[in-house]
Structure formats: C-alpha cells, structure tokens
Copies of this chain bind each other. A is one copy, B any other.
C-alpha cells in the first residue's frame, strides 16, 4: 500500500521501522575495530525512541516534493538526513546522561550508555556519532550545492548557537528562575534548533522553494517550542514507567520549566496556541503537508 494512503499511526510505524533499518546499516558493525566503541554507538542509537526528528525529515520531504512520489536519489538523501538528525539527537542524550551533566541512569527504560559501557566509552561514542551524522549528509546523492546547504544547517543547529548552546544555558540556569523570554530562548536552542533543522533538511533535499521554506520554518519553530512545553507538562503529570525516564526530574532538580514559569494551565494554553500556529503555517503548502500537520497533532497529544 503506498505510504501516502496510510493513516498516520501506520505511516509513523512504517517510518520508525524504516529509519531503524537505515540507522542499523549506517552504524559500523560491532565486529569492526574498535568493537566496544561501535557496540556502544549502536546501543545508544538503536535503543528505540520516538524518532520524531526522522519523521519530520520524511514528512517535510513529502510536503516539498512537487511530484507525488520521491525520486530514488531523493529517497536515499532523505534517509541520510533523517539518520543524521537521529544520530545528533542520540549523541546529545548520551552526553546529557553523563554524571558531569544530568547523571541519569535510565533512558528509554534501559540503563544509560555510561552505566553499561563506562563513562569514557560513552563520551567517545557521543563524540563519534556526531561526525557520522555529517558523513551521512556529505554522502547524500543530490546536487552538491544542496548538500553544502544541508551541512551548514546541521552544523549551525547542532552547535553553540543551537542545541549545545541551549544545553549550556540549561546547565547554567539550574536553581535560577528564568523569565519566560529566557526560557523560550533556551528551549528554542536546546530542542527547537534540531527539530527545525529536521524540517528544513527535508525541505532542502526535496528542493523546496523559498516560500515553501518560509512556511516550513514557521511550522518548525512552533512545533519546536510545543515539543518542549509538552515535555515540561509530562515531567509533572506522567509517571516514570510511562515516560521511560525519571519523571519529576526537572522539578526535583529545580530546573526552570514552562510549568514552573507559567503554571500548568498557562502551559496548556501556550501549547494550544503553538499548535494552531504550526497548522496555519502549513496552509500555503496544500494537501502534501498533511503528514506535517499530523505530526503537530501527535507532538501536542503525546503522553510520553
């Protein structure tokens, strides 16, 4: 059955299985020297996860392609881009879980990488996942000028003005009360930057024009923030078993969150407003953006 006609939940399941097999092939086998490093990299990446970033790459690719079906080179390029954002995400989780950062022993219901492989190997696994992401972008079989754009975008989004910068602000702000604006800046860097990159990478690969890219950017900024607002709400409303990670961790660590800044009700109102912004931004893209709209619904409605 063509993917376009699947309902959302089946489409997402299909994409999750697909990216898992792409990642499985992109990662060096555990038999390749150094085996323990590759083993740790595979454990970090192939341990499940929601694969929201990969889904965004595919959905944005679908929304931007002019023809109904992606050409084979573009399909492969979307696989590379989707794998790249998942690798960056996975490395950031490995490093965040380390004792010198969040010191978390549980992730997706399993021991974290440093608990299983030791701190040195966990740090090196993260360090090696990052260039693998850039290698996959570099190997996308599309016009070199588009590959270069994708490289620049991924680099900027993953760096000190994007994801890692947001993480640093988060670390610095433990025990402080952040104003709503500062909180928003922190999250738009820490989580939003890579979600946005996922959407825009899909657009770049599919050759989206400048007006389509603008719609994608607005959509991406809104769902990037929405994602974090949901995370903060779940931290106080869900339990550890459902979440697959330690619930109440941010509240207990006195970390600033949307809930601590604007209360549970205020956070839920903000979430509804971001949801509407995201869906409205997609209107100019027409029916091909249906998956992106469904992902926005999914992010807002998720319970873990």
Contacts and interface: CB of A to CB of B under 8 A. Distances in A.
A138 B153 CA distance: 9
- Interface size bucket, A side? 35 or more
Nearest to A171: B120
A128 interface: yes
A131 B121 CA distance: 20
Assembly of this chain: how many copies?
A: 2
B152 A36 contact: no
Interface of A is mostly: helix
Contact of A132 (B119, B143, B155, B168): B155
26 contacts: A28-B160, A33-B185, A34-B165, A37-B165, A38-B160, A92-B127, A95-B123, A95-B127, A98-B100, A100-B119, A100-B123, A120-B171, A123-B123, A124-B164, A124-B167, A124-B171, A128-B164, A131-B154, A131-B164, A134-B155, A135-B159, A137-B151, A138-B155, A144-B144, A144-B145, A147-B147
Given A138-B148, A139-B152, 19 more contacts: A36-B172, A37-B168, A98-B100, A98-B123, A100-B100, A100-B120, A101-B123, A120-B171, A127-B127, A130-B131, A131-B134, A131-B154, A134-B151, A134-B155, A135-B152, A135-B156, A138-B151, A144-B148, A151-B151
